[in-house]
Structure 1
Amino acid sequence: MKKYLIAGLLVWLPLAITIAVLVWAFGLVDGVFGGFVQALSAVLPAPAVEVLQRLDEVPGVGLLVVLAVLLLTGVAVTNYIGQWSLRQWDRLLGQIPIVKSVYSSVKQVSDTLFSSSGNAFREAVLVEYPRRGAWTIAFVTGQPAGELISHLPAEAHVSLYVPTTPNPTSGFYLIVPRAEVKPLGMNVDAALKHIISMGVVAPPEAAAPAALPPAA
């Protein structure tokens, strides 16, 4: 009986968790659309607000609207006029006290993480942590710069993010010598799966490891 129960659990548990995550994500996006409707209700005429409120009651409409807004925004900022408008918007927010500190920090991090020309979280490596002889998977986020360089030995260093398991959204930032880091052939997705599963999900067969970023 125990064997059959475990077999059934292994079939239904991944599906149940997947559905739960999707429902949570849809609810989150619909909530964003609902807040957008409430904000517009103060400036739009009553008929327009009524139409938006009816749309908000339809499941999934918020997700479609948010995706459409993201797509149209992406198309708009890829041309010259859109890029100029975006620079003016950044400059405006950069002049507002308190707001400029939060906005500039978040924008710098997001541009680094998601820019197609960036190198953050694009390579998985092995590093000895938290002690000698114990190894863990980390992600190269770049190279130390600014004041940090003057306090480090002359040898080249890399900046690493060591995620925790099973929640990789928290972790530790390390600066280690380049010579103490071992590049891995697996991509970031495979490394994340291995970390989230606490080592249960085996990584793919070894491939040629990528080269670390060149020394500055």
Structure 2
Amino acid sequence: MIKRYFITGLLIWVPLAITFWVLSLIISTMDQSLRLLPETIHPHALFGFDIPGAGALLTLAVILLTGLVTANFVGQKLVSWWELLLARIPVVNSVYNSVKQVSDTLFSSNGQAFRKALLVQYPREGSWTIAFMTGHPGGDVANHLSGDWVSVYVPTTPNPTSGFFLMIRRDETVELDMSVDEALKYIISMGVVAPPLRQRNKVAGVLGEPTA
């Protein structure tokens, strides 16, 4: 009985402790941006004490201000001039362009990267896992693949930031009726936190299971 109560208590406190720890780490990291300010306008100099989270607020304000400025014609011209300047710097040009292409693909509202959760057979036939569609094969790779193929990212568990990039025939994938957030929770929890059951018959039929 005591063991059951102890485990129940852990299930309540462990997620809270990890959440607060992650938030504290993010805020303390973003607080380092205060070092960019002149010493005379630091919160400690103005108020006599440090303000936790001031760096986070400053970082968010700078990001929002940057987005506001670059949303108009003049701002876009400044960004174009800045990118032309970076294009003249060896090494920096390659790194910046690669990162920019990835970020534009991931965060673009019109993009298809990480918009769909798929069920794919990996690492062998008959073994299924969750993957995210990232697009379609391109470049010279597309010249060597006949038919309809998709590019997918297969995340590892419980750390989805590492994984594997695969190209799979579309007819060998199953599009899941779950959001990307639900799929990520399912992966991170190692299958413990299952998404709501929807369209079970459709998936079961593809996997060869008996349908209701």
TM-score, with length taken from structure 2: 0.88
1:59-110 deviations in Å (ceiling 9; x for gaps): 2111111111011111111111111111111111111111101111101101
The 4+ residue runs of structure 1 with deviation greater than 3 A are none
- Selected match of 2:109 from 116, 132, 151: 116
1:81 match: secondary structure: helix
- Selected match of 2:190 from 162, 175, 198: 198
How far apart are residue 4 of structure 1 and its match?
Answer: 1.5
- Selected match of 1:157 from 149, 153, 158: 149
Q: Which residue of 2 aligns with 1:26?
A: 27
How far apart are residue 53 of structure 1 and its match?
Answer: 6.6
Q: Any stretches of 5+ residues in structure 2 without a counterpart?
A: 203-212
* Rounded Cα–Cα distance in structure 2 between residues aligned with 1:159 and 1:8: 42
Q: Which residue of 2 aligns with 1:54?
A: 44
- Does residue 167 (structure 1) correspond to residue 159 (structure 2)? The answer is yes
Q: Number of paired residues? A: 197
Range moving further from structure 2, 169-178 or 9-18: 9-18
TM-score, with length taken from structure 1: 0.86
The answer to whether the 8 A contact 2:148-2:170 is kept is yes
Identical positions, percent: 54
* Rounded Cα–Cα distance in structure 2 between residues aligned with 1:144 and 1:131: 21
Q: Any stretches of 5+ residues in structure 1 without a counterpart?
A: 38-47, 210-216
Alignment of 1:17-166 (within 5 A): 17-34=18-35, 36-37=36-37, 48-52=38-42, 54=44, 57-152=50-145, 154-166=146-158
1:10-66 deviations in Å (ceiling 9; x for gaps): 1111111111111011011112333x23xxxxxxxxxx4322373693221111111
Superposition RMSD in Å: 1.7
Q: For residues 96 and 53 of structure 1, do their structure 2 counterparts lie closer, same or farther at Cα, with a shift above 3 Å needed?
A: farther
* Rounded Cα–Cα distance in structure 1 between residues aligned with 2:11 and 2:111: 39
The answer to whether the 8 A contact 1:186-1:207 is kept is no
- Selected match of 2:172 from 172, 180, 190: 180
